[in-house]
């Protein structure tokens, strides 16, 4: 059996993810003197060690025929890599997609990063640039309600975030606007760095 068409489609979907929030949003990030989340991860980890998980997750736009036309990636990038030849989990907010807002994320991605660090007993690095968690105006407009604590995803996600404090080394990097759940994730770190 030939899997070439499926592999080509997977590569096409991964290309959508690499575009992040689009060229204009990436340019705005650079114009403000900030790296994108993908650039930050590349600079933090040992070269060529990042293995992304869930790269093609996001929201797709489909033609009437069912063919994928475009996709907006999830605003969370995570996976495993190495720092100083030691394995770590790294998770970062993509500010180019809805300002890295927790309300706009696929909540399972940051939770999976926390769970992976917990279950595999790996240090976790949180690259934080975002806000939210209680419900943005955009979330209320699209879903008809705000995300309240214990709502979407319940409290399982924050259980792992806090449990990791007693289990693995946790580093939080506040590299831009950080508020709401982003600030809580930063506070729940053994070592945190915040830029001006």
Q: How many helices (H) and strands (E) does the chain have?
A: 7, 8
Q: Strands, DSSP E only, in the chain?
A: 51-53, 58-62, 68-73, 76-83, 86-93, 124-130, 170-178, 191-194
Is residue 174 within 8 Å of residue 193, measured between CB atoms?
Answer: yes
Say if 16 falls within a structural domain: no
Cα–Cα distances in Å, from 185 out to 16, 20, 74, 102, 190?
28, 22, 18, 11, 11
What predicted TM-score, i.e. pTM, was given to this entire model? 0.85
Q: 73-82, pLDDT tens digit by residue?
A: 888 899 999 9
Say if 110 falls within a structural domain: yes
Kind plus residue range of the DSSP H or E element containing 137: helix 137-143
For residue 99, the domain's CATH number is: 3.90.226.10
Pairing of strands 124-130, 68-73: unpaired
pLDDT of res. 180: 80
Say if 24 falls within a structural domain: no
pLDDT of res. 148: 56
Is residue 190 within 8 Å of residue 123, measured between CB atoms?
Answer: no
Say if 1 falls within a structural domain: no
User: Is residue 192 scored above 60 in pLDDT?
Assistant: yes
Q: 14-36, pLDDT tens digit by residue?
A: 998 888 888 998 899 899 999 99
Show Cβ contacts of residue 80 under 8 Å, excluding neighbours closer than 6 positions: 50, 51, 53, 87, 88, 89, 90, 116, 122
Does residue 58 or residue 100 have the better pLDDT? 58
The domain of 130 spans 33-57+74-194
- Structural domain total, the chain: 1
For residue 59, how far is the Cα from the chain centroid? 14
pLDDT of res. 94: 85
Structure tokens at 158: 């924050």
Q: 86-114, pLDDT tens digit by residue?
A: 999 999 988 887 655 555 567 788 899 99
Say if 136 falls within a structural domain: yes
Say if 23 falls within a structural domain: no
pLDDT band for position 72 (cuts 50, 70, 90): confident
pLDDT of res. 108: 82
Say if 80 falls within a structural domain: yes
pLDDT of res. 191: 97
Q: 119-178, pLDDT tens digit by residue?
A: 999 999 999 988 765 555 555 566 666 555 555 555 677 789 999 999 999 999 999 888
Structure tokens at 87: 């394995």
What is the overall mean pLDDT for the chain? 86
pLDDT of res. 176: 86
Say if 26 falls within a structural domain: no
Write the DSSP symbol of residue 84: T
């Amino acid at each position: 059996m030939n899997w070439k068409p499926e592999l080509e489609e997977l590569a096409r979907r991964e290309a959508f993810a690499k575009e992040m929030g689009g060229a204009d949003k990436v340019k705005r990030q650079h114009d403000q003197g900030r790296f994108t989340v993908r650039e930050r991860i590349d600079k933090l980890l040992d070269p060529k060690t990042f293995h992304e998980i869930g790269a093609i997750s996001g929201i797709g736009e489909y033609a009437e025929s069912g063919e994928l036309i475009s996709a907006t990636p999830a605003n969370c990038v995570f996976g495993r890599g190495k720092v100083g030849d030691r394995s770590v989990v790294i998770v970062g907010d993509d500010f180019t997609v809805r300002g890295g807002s927790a309300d706009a994320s696929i909540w399972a991605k940051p939770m999976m990063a926390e769970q992976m660090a917990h279950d595999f007993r790996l240090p976790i690095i949180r690259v934080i640039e975002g806000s939210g968690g209680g419900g943005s105006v955009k979330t209320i407009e699209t879903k008809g309600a705000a995300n309240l604590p214990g709502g979407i995803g319940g409290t399982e996600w924050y259980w792992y975030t806090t449990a990791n404090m007693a289990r693995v080394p946790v580093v939080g990097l506040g590299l831009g606007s950080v508020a709401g759940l982003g600030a809580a994730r930063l506070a729940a770190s053994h070592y945190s760095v915040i830029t001006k």
